[in-house]
Chain A
């Protein structure tokens, strides 16, 4: 059992795969000096400038560049520094990276990992804090992964690099410097597999990325009130492991979906629709979704805190689902969400 920071898991994954496979290359803005979070630090010195390519600030073109390298046999890992900047690369990503296998009738393959980090925290405002996973979940040809802990940062990034399809690998900035137990540093989980982090019988909380930790804290609070919440970390957002989700909901008969992204049009809607189509008869209560209000991410720390769902909003949603009186505060945080 070793302890590892999330960023170190990411770097270790890249190093291990670059050692293992000469075709793995790294491209992105500032990757030569490690980037703002130090994830690629030391790679240039170790693997050389042919394999660690520091690019200009030209997102659309570097996405195309990485795709063109993948078409010719490389397995690039491209870093888009903030998911907010991927908007500039959408044409290449959506029109070429994701579609070339299909449009070529299987002649071409794009084994590419797009590393991004996203999420609010620190008052960085609307251009450095968004959670945009739902956009990419909607794109056929892409896989989407969002690890919540260091072990998955390490294992799932290795799995993504080995995958023959383009994988959008979404880190959360608020997780980068957390430290987790890594029980098996050699474990490489399959993409598309969720993980039940905590067993329970009264309801299932389905979540991913940083919200996992809020959900676990909420489950602790609920346990103190004799409510047993099962917590599922989806880990992969496309494909979704609906088997694990449906299996859990059939046992608990209640489902709450939690994400930091705005609730409207978010992944919660997609997951709820799946459950409704397939496990409606098992449900004892309407499903609920917790997500951010339909607003850009505010800069003011006070507003940012109001924007990001937290343990309190999750507990409040559970109270609402189960018809319980609020335990602590007189303020109903759900009202804030609904406004």
Chain B
């Protein structure tokens, strides 16, 4: 492995650890009622977030879902401003107006997350109409649940018809809210939908971070070269409930345990140790550093001012 690759992989691991530490702290703060709102954490899905973000260039766009804290942190969003947003503070990414499900970091071309399942797919296509003029691509996340929306199919048709530079990243975590995939769709894999629309699709082990990176890179390159859209279906699992507070009693304990063994961070650190990229001691240090960054983020959020009640209707119009 080249030194550059080592640096890249360490950086990817750092971002995965940051997401994990951030999300664990979100759960803790929510339980202590320090955070309000409907919070969807992505613990267990860090490999997808970091793999995809790493494949994108600075000028490329990314759209999220309702579960996008990790997508944003993977692309470099400041954890302090993200935490402040979740806390509804004026210093938050969106001045506290968006909240967890509606985060935007326009400076990083993280255009928006959404509370509407599948809702960002058409937005991504529209941005791709513009991005193609400058050789940029747009990646958009969606889940297995979104594949049952009408708009998803409308968008597969248009993306293929116009060969738009879009990477459609399916985070297939096996559940549409509380309903398992076997009960919500007839297809075995979401990527199956690509074929009738002429869209190539990969099925990836979403907890294998490097597999995600490689598939995302191939899809980004294809989009950038004018080859049109690709579906990258990442099979993964959320190790927690649908939202913070969801007991997830619709899942069996042995299923969760099985996926815990496939934890993407454990697998990635194992791989890096095996390759000699990193030592156990360094992993501990990186984990501690990630937690320290989250401590700082929490401190920043706590110290930040609340929005003034008088500003409740600001930012509605230009």
Chain A residues in the interface with B (C-beta under 8 A): 50, 53, 55-56, 58, 60-74, 76, 91-92, 95-96, 99-109, 140-141, 143, 163-165
Q: In the complex, how many angstroms separate the beta carbon of B150 from the nearest chain A beta carbon? A: 7
For residue B149, give the distance in angstroms from its CB to the closest CB of chain A: 9
Chain B residues in contact with chain A, CB under 8 A? 61, 92-98, 102, 104-107, 111-112, 114-116, 119, 121-131, 133, 150-151, 154-155, 157-158, 161, 313-318
Residues A92 and B119 in contact in the complex (CB < 8 Å), given A60-B151, A71-B111: yes
Q: How far is the CB of A59 from chain B (nearest CB, A)?
A: 9
Count: A-B pairs, CB below 8 Å: 144
6 new A-B pairs (CB below 8 Å) besides A69-B126, A164-B318?
A68-B125, A73-B130, A74-B129, A74-B130, A102-B315, A141-B317
Select from chain A the residue with minimum beta-carbon distance to B112: A100
Q: What's the least CB distance linking A187 to chain B, in Å? A: 22
Say which residue of A63, A64, A72, A100 sits within 8 Å of B130 (CB atoms).
A72
Q: Which of B102, B115, B316 contacts A140 (CB 8 A)?
A: B316
Check A64–B94 contact: CB distance below 8 A: no
Q: Which residues of A contact B111 (CB under 8 A)?
A: 68, 71, 108
Known: A69-B130, A92-B122. A56 touches B93 (CB 8 A): no
Closest Cβ–Cβ distance, residue A252 to chain B (whole Å): 31
Residues of B within 8 A of A70 (CB): 126
Given contacts A56-B161, A68-B122, A95-B116, contact A105 B96 (CB under 8 A): yes
- 24 CB contacts below 8 A, A to B, read A56-B161, A58-B157, A61-B151, A64-B125, A65-B129, A65-B158, A68-B122, A68-B126, A68-B127, A69-B130, A71-B126, A74-B130, A76-B126, A91-B116, A96-B116, A99-B102, A102-B315, A103-B97, A103-B104, A104-B112, A105-B92, A105-B104, A107-B94, A107-B105
Once the chains are docked, how many angstroms separate the CA of A141 from the CA of B124? Answer: 21
A115-B96 Cα distance, complex, nearest whole Å: 32
- Return the chain B residue nearest A63 by Cβ: B122
On whether the beta carbons of A71 and B116 are closer than 8 Å, the reply is no
Given contacts A64-B126, A69-B129, A102-B315, contact A108 B119 (CB under 8 A): no
- Inter-chain contacts of A68 with B (CB < 8 A): 111, 122-129
> A69 to B151, Cβ gap below 8 A?
no
Complex interface: chain A residues within 8 A of B151 (CB): 58, 60-61, 64, 91-92
A140 to B315, CA, bound (A): 10
A107 touches B106 (CB 8 A): yes
A105 and B129 contact, CB distance less than 8 A: no
